[in-house]
Structure 1
Amino acid sequence: MKKIFLLAVIAIALSATQSFAQSYKTGAGLGIDFGDGSTLVGPTFKHFFNGNDAIQADLLFGADAVWLGGYYQYHQPLKGTPLKWYLGIGPQLAFADDNGFNDNSTFIYLRPMVGLDFKVPSAPLSFNLDWRPAWRLNNDSEFEPARFGLGFRYTF
């Protein structure tokens, strides 16, 4: 009887772990970049090539500019949870009309990131939160450490 009970507990634990392991291939939704300075909002898109490697693209609006970013991300599941942690990096361009720099109205940023991605096991929704400092590479280089990203996506 103890063996049957033990096998039942193991089967339930394995099925719960498998439901946590659910993931998604592609997601599209709303991205928010916030922190020191302006808040940027716009569409975001994430696509997984396999269980670990993903790309993310953001088209954000704010601070009198249009921001276009593309990032590579490496994901790993947190054991026993529906969360994945990730590391990423990529370029971001800001296209501004009047920015105080007469020589160039395009800003080039390098954006490293570390964060968490949560896929709701019973719904086609995912959420992410990350820390993504911004390092401007041109027009008087500047580093902004207090920037964060928040994403809400429909997954398919």
Structure 2
Amino acid sequence: MKKLLLLCLTAGFLLIANTNANAQNYENAIGVRLGSYNGLNYKTFLNSNKALDLNLSFRNNDDLKRFIFTGLYEVHNPIAGAPGLLWYYGGGGSIGSYKRRDFEGDLFLSADGVLGLDYKIDGAPLNLAIDWRPRLELTPNTDFRSGDVGLAIRFTF
């Protein structure tokens, strides 16, 4: 398992290092991300095609309460013939806390991936993104989650 994770991380690093597309059409965006975990979302571009995507998410139901901070490094690439539409991929991690009804809370840590589409509406300060985020939970139990699909609605500036 460790060798597979190391291989995936190495391949991802090489893909990120070799991507030089000029994709970005806004610098910063703030809004909400709706999905299995709803919360606040902030994206900022580091250069023309690389961005940090930060999320503060909450989940609250009868059996489980979670509070999670996620940081993702993303690489954006344009889609030919679709102005304002980008596809992106990347990875990062999450830290947070959770509490189940039947026992005390615990620390939550995970390694996260992301694959998605990002659309900046021309002439309006609005950005929409939909993405899939698979997750390898490291604590409290090691488990692979097939991921969360979410929609981000953000104001750009």
**Alignment TM-score > 0.5, same fold:** yes
1:59 corresponds in structure 2 to 56
Larger strand proportion of the pair: 2
Which of these residues, 67, 91, 94, is aligned with residue 92 of structure 1?
A: 94
Q: Which runs of 5+ in 1 are unaligned?
A: 1-20
Please state whether the residue corresponding to 2:139 is helix, strand or coil. Answer: coil
> Judging changes above 3 Å, is the alpha-carbon distance between structure 1 residues 99 and 134 closer, same or farther for their aligned structure 2 residues?
farther
Alpha carbons 2:24, 2:45 under 8 Å: kept: no
1:46 equivalent to 2:48? Answer: no
| Residue aligned with 1:129, SS | strand
- Preserved CA contact (<8 Å) 1:22 1:119: no
Return the TM-score normalized by structure 2: 0.76
- Tell me the equivalent position of 2:12: none
Size of the aligned set, in residue pairs, is 130
Output the CA distance in 1 between the equivalents of 2:127 and 2:85. Answer: 10
- The answer on 1:136 being equivalent to 2:133 is no
Instruction: Encode CA deviations 1:77-112: one digit per residue, 9 max, x unaligned.
Output: 11121210001101012312447676x711111110
Identity within the alignment, %: 32
CA–CA separation in structure 1 for the residues paired with 2:131 and 2:117: 6
Letter in 2 for 1:77: P
Q: CA deviation at 1:22?
A: 7.2
Please give the alpha-carbon distance, in whole angstroms, between the structure 2 residues aligned to 1:151 and 1:116.
Answer: 10
Output aligned runs, 1:92-111, within 5 Å.
92-98=94-100, 105-111=106-112
Residues 7-156 of structure 1: pairs in structure 2 closer than 5 A: 23-32=25-34, 34=35, 39-63=36-60, 64-81=65-82, 82-98=84-100, 105-156=106-157
CA distance in 2, matches of 1:101, 1:77: 47
Shift in Å, 1:142: 0.8
Report how far residue 42 of structure 1 moved. 1.1
TM superposition outliers: structure 1 runs of 4+ over 6 Å:
none
Amino acid at match of 1:155: T
- Which amino acid counterpart does residue 55 of structure 1 have in structure 2? L
CA gap 1:125/1:83 in 2 versus in 1, 3 angstroms = same
**1:134 alignment partner AA:** R
Asked whether the equivalents of residues 24 and 76 of structure 2 are also in contact (C-alpha less than 8 Å), the reply is no
Asked which structure has the greater CA Rg, the reply is 1
Q: Return the alpha-carbon distance in structure 1 between the equivalents of residues 135 and 103 of structure 2.
A: 19
